[in-house]
Chains A and B, each alone.
Chain A
Amino acid sequence: QKEVEQNSGPLSVPEGAIASLNCTYSDRGSQSFFWYRQYSGKSPELIMFIYSNGDKEDGRFTAQLNKASQYVSLLIRDSQPSDSATYLCAVASGGSYIPTFGRGTSLIVHP
C-alpha cells in the first residue's frame, strides 16, 4: 500500500522565519509530487508541483525533492501569519493521475 507520511504538527514559527515542511513516501515508482495549502474550513489549493530531483522555487516557496531518500519538502521563506494553514503533500506514481495524499501538517506563523 502506498503511503505518504507527514508530521501532523502543529509546526509553529515566528513571522519572518523559514518554515520547513517534510513529507516521506513509500512508493519508489513515484514521479509526481504536489503541495497543497488548506485553510481551515476551505478546500485545498495547489501551490507547488515538482517532478525532478532538486529544488524548484516559486516566490517565497521552494519545493525540494530527493527521490533516493524518498522525501519531498516545502520551504516557506519570510513566513507570514497568512501562511498559517494545513499543508498537504500528495504523491503520484508513474502513469497514475491519482495521487496519494498525506494527512497534512498544520503550520502556525505567529507575529
Chain B
Amino acid sequence: SQTIHQWPATLVQPVGSPLSLECTVEGTSNPNLYWYRQAAGRGLQLLFYSVGIGQISSEVPQNLSASRPQDRQFILSSKKLLLSDSGFYLCAWSTPGGTYGYTFGSGTRLTVV
C-alpha cells in the first residue's frame, strides 16, 4: 500500500532563517506531488506541484521554492522566512491523472517568530 511521510510535524523558526520540509512517498511510482499551505481559518492554497523528477510548477509567486530530486521525494525550501510564511504545510500525492483524489501527508505546522 502507498504511504506518504512528511516531517517535521512542528517547526518554530525565526524570521530570516532558512527552511527545508521533506516529503516522501512509498509504494507507488511516478506520482504527482503537491505542496499546499493552509493558513489559520483559510482554505488550502496550492504552492507547487510536480509531475516528474525536476519538473516543478509554481502556482503562487512567493518566498518559497520546491525541488523534486527523486521520483518519490518532494522538498519545500526557503532561504529567508517571513512572518507571513507561518501556516500548516501539507504534502500530497496523486496518480498521474488525479483520478482518485489526493492522499495528504500529516502536515508540518510552521510558526515563524
* Proximity string of chain A (36-51) to chain B, C-beta cutoff 8 Å, 1 when within and 0 when not: 1000011111100100
Query: Which residues from chain B contact A36 at a C-beta distance below 8 Å?
Result: 101-102
Minimal beta-carbon separation of A52 from chain B (angstroms) = 13
| Bound Cα distance from A77 to B41, whole angstroms | 27
Write out the residue numbers on chain A whose beta carbons fall within 8 Å of the beta carbon of B100.
46, 49
Q: B105 contacts which chain A residues (CB < 8 A)?
A: 43
Q: How far is the CB of A2 from chain B (nearest CB, A)?
A: 12
B residues 26-71 with Cβ under 8 Å of A?
32, 34, 42-44, 46, 49
Across the interface, which residues of B come within 8 angstroms of A22, CB to CB? Answer: none
Please measure, in the bound complex, the distance between the C-alpha atom of A92 and the C-alpha atom of B99, giving whole angstroms.
Answer: 9
A42/B107 in contact, CB under 8 A: yes
Query: Which of A42, A46, A97, A101 meets B103, CB within 8 Å?
Result: A46
Number of A-B pairs, beta carbon distance below 8 Å: 51
Q: Name B102's closest neighbour in chain A (CB-CB).
A: A46
Whether B98 and A42, one on each chain, are in contact in the complex, defined by CB atoms closer than 8 angstroms, is no
Q: Could you tell me the distance between the alpha carbons of A43 and B106 in the complex, rounded to whole angstroms?
A: 5
> Would you call B94 an interface residue if the criterion is a C-beta within 8 Å of the partner chain's C-beta atoms?
yes
Interface residues of B in 77-111 (CB under 8 A from A): 90, 94, 96-107, 109
Q: Is the CB of A99 within 8 A of B43?
A: no
User: How far apart sit A32 and B101, CA to CA, in the bound complex (Å)?
Assistant: 9
User: Which residues of chain A come closer than 8 Å to B43, judged between CB atoms?
Assistant: 88, 101-104
Top 9 A-B residue pairs of the complex, sorted by shortest distance between their CB atoms: A97-B98, A103-B43, A43-B104, A46-B101, A43-B107, A34-B101, A101-B44, A49-B101, A44-B104
